[in-house]
Structure 1
Amino acid sequence: MTIEIHQLRYAVATADAKSFSRAAGALNVKQITLSRRVQQLENRLGVKLFERSTRGAEITENGRPFIEQARRIITDVDNLRTTASNVSCGLQGRIAVGYCSPLMAGNLRLAISDYLTKFEDVQFDGVEAGLERLFHGLHSHTLDVAVAPIGHREDGISSRRIWSERLFAVLPNDHALAEREQIYWQDLRREVFVVPASGLGPIFGNLIAARLTEQGKRPNIILQDTSLESVLSMVAAKRHISIATEASQGIAWTDLRFVEIHDLTGPARLEYSLYWRADNDNPALQRFFNLIEERYPG
């Protein structure tokens, strides 16, 4: 029985995306090609990997251990390729950093820029993904470190608080609140919010719900399966508003207004931590820690 590496990639991508169409989009292949290769893989294994429905593709219990093993195989193959490439380019070492916040501006962009400048001999791989995929990457050794909001605890994963970023309401230019210098959570209680379904979107959704749920009535929050940039473009159409950190102001949004949100204690902020495996002894990771300690001493 021959199993090809691209079949493993298709299966793992489908498990991560929980959808054949989204997995195909992420890998830039036709959906019919991806779904056919996964079906062929299932036939060769004699195991049903996914439950298919109109909502997407959910991994089966029998498929879960296979997907985990496939993920490790892909990681090993990619690491071999990276090592070979690094040797040919004269590079020494590699670090994979995951994050779920935008790199338009802010502390994360500065930290990564500093690292790339100071350690030119290290291969730097950035991975933008949701929290579930980031922590899966840490456990499976595909990521060395992740930058994500505080409050997540998992066995074998260490963490350290690093920085915080101010939160802003993202409004159309002609919104009734757009001319204010600051607003409070309660000023937004009648609004309809749109946030991404991945990245920081679910965290924003939980935060909005926590601040604005009253007497059992939850705020109106729409999750869109698209990027933060696309969500902010929807706000310009004047049907919804959104939430973003100060890092999202790294580019000019001519049709939008970012207004700082306050609570009773001052500006609302989103706190971030570094997360990594306690047994990760990658020298390139230690260099990253040293740089973070210099810029943001604990």
Structure 2
Amino acid sequence: MLDLRALRRFATLADERHFGRAAARLGMGQPQLSRALQALEREIGVRLLARSSREVALTEAGAALLEDSQRLLAIAEAAPQRARQAARGESGRLALGFSGSCAYAFLPAAIEGFRRSHPGIEFALREMSATRQVEALREASCDLCLLRAARIPDGFAGALVFEEKLVAALPRTHRLAGRSRLDPGALRTADFVAFPARDSTEFHRQLITVCADAGFAPRIVQEVSPMHALIGLVGAGVGAAIVPASVRKLHFAGVVYRPLAGVAERSRVFAVWRPDRLPAPARAFAAHLGVQHG
């Protein structure tokens, strides 16, 4: 295997085309440089330089070696800095799982700001259900997940990064659509569109909780996901829905959003990771979200 020091000496000599100047630049004697070149030529098995009394010229083999030497030396010079950047979370790849509804809330601004401060990190963004996020963390196919949940799942580490109020999404033709604010009890006789209970989504649980606190069980006439499909059905007049406030960014002509009075329930997003695994890019992004790790 070729020695980087030998390649550096050869590249310097090829650049100067003069043994004396190259030796001075390298801080070594001219005879020592000449012996080093001879050793390199013996190792490779071909002549690299054509010498004359007045100048040094590259052979075809020497020109080919120079091209590769410059590339290898550039990589070797950059390698320590790249390693330090990777350790600091300034470069590398971040596999980020997220609940789709986060895209209506804080996630776009968070990613944009992080990319400005960490341009060397490549994102692999994966929108998925809460159940699939937990599986992806276990499989190590995601480094960090942004999970809408009531709490951090057992066996994982994490921190709260975002929370917001809940609102009612109503068909524009609904009898309550004209109100500026709703008491949840006013929805007692309403039909509801909800996320499927089988998906173990936080949205389904919160609908049940808000209605139970108001003294009734919701009449769910349709279960559907994802969020834009649910809001689309609200706009079609199928029923009302209880959703995070940031969903108001989904503008459907037939939908109005109304604040809910007296509702303590909040929609929360946790940054979640495996306790034994949080790569540097994920640590950096978590810190950008305000999470202190370790």
Regarding TM over 0.5, the answer is: yes
1:271 aligns with 2:291: no
**Post-superposition offset of 1:95:** 0.8
The answer to whether the Cα contact below 8 Å between 1:150 and 1:161 also exists between their aligned partners in 2 is no
**Post-superposition offset of 1:263:** 2.0
| Partner of residue 57, structure 1 | none
The answer to whether the Cα contact below 8 Å between 2:184 and 2:214 also exists between their aligned partners in 1 is no
**Post-superposition offset of 1:191:** 1.5
Residue aligned with 2:194, SS = strand
The answer to whether the Cα contact below 8 Å between 1:172 and 1:257 also exists between their aligned partners in 2 is yes
**Residues 136-285 of structure 1 mapped to structure 2, 5 A cutoff:** 136-148=135-147, 149-155=149-155, 157-197=156-196, 202-213=201-212, 218-222=217-221, 224-263=223-262, 268-285=265-282
Whole-Å Cα distance in 2 between the matches of residues 242 and 215 of structure 1? 15
Whole-Å Cα distance in 2 between the matches of residues 215 and 239 of structure 1? 22
TM-score when scaled to structure 2? 0.61
Whole-Å Cα distance in 1 between the matches of residues 236 and 200 of structure 2? 19
| Partner of residue 9, structure 1 | none
* 1:240–1:215 distance in 2 versus 1, CA, 3 Å: closer
| Partner of residue 79, structure 1 | none
Counterpart AA for 2:244: T
* 1:238–1:168 distance in 2 versus 1, CA, 3 Å: same
Whole-Å Cα distance in 2 between the matches of residues 281 and 226 of structure 1? 30
More displaced stretch, 196-205 vs 97-106: 196-205
1:95 aligns with 2:120: no
Whole-Å Cα distance in 1 between the matches of residues 289 and 92 of structure 2? 18
**Post-superposition offset of 1:198:** 8.5
Whole-Å Cα distance in 2 between the matches of residues 112 and 200 of structure 1? 27
The answer to whether the Cα contact below 8 Å between 1:150 and 1:271 also exists between their aligned partners in 2 is yes
Counterpart AA for 1:275: V
* 1:217–1:189 distance in 2 versus 1, CA, 3 Å: closer
Counterpart AA for 2:138: H
The answer to whether the Cα contact below 8 Å between 1:171 and 1:258 also exists between their aligned partners in 2 is yes
Deviation sequence 1:239-285 (CA, Å, 0-9, x none): 211122122222432221010112265xx521221111111241101
| Partner of residue 46, structure 2 | none
Residue aligned with 2:202, SS = helix
**Post-superposition offset of 1:117:** 2.8
The answer to whether the Cα contact below 8 Å between 2:144 and 2:282 also exists between their aligned partners in 1 is yes
The answer to whether the Cα contact below 8 Å between 1:128 and 1:199 also exists between their aligned partners in 2 is no
Whole-Å Cα distance in 1 between the matches of residues 259 and 246 of structure 2? 13
**Post-superposition offset of 1:110:** 1.7
TM-score when scaled to structure 1? 0.60
**Post-superposition offset of 1:127:** 1.4
Counterpart AA for 2:115: L
1:110 aligns with 2:125: no
Whole-Å Cα distance in 2 between the matches of residues 219 and 124 of structure 1? 40
**Post-superposition offset of 1:176:** 1.7
**Residues 51-62 of structure 1 mapped to structure 2, 5 A cutoff:** none
| Partner of residue 289, structure 2 | 292
Residue aligned with 1:290, SS = helix
Q: How many residues align?
A: 202
Give the number of the structure whose alpha-carbon radius of gyration is greater.
2
Whole-Å Cα distance in 2 between the matches of residues 288 and 198 of structure 1? 32
Residue aligned with 2:137, SS = helix
Counterpart AA for 2:111: I
**Residues 115-130 of structure 1 mapped to structure 2, 5 A cutoff:** 115-130=114-129
Alignment RMSD:
2.9
**Post-superposition offset of 1:201:** 8.0
Counterpart AA for 2:268: E
The runs of 5 or more residues in structure 1 that have no matched partner are 1-90
* 1:264–1:120 distance in 2 versus 1, CA, 3 Å: closer
Whole-Å Cα distance in 1 between the matches of residues 256 and 110 of structure 2? 27
**Post-superposition offset of 1:112:** 2.0
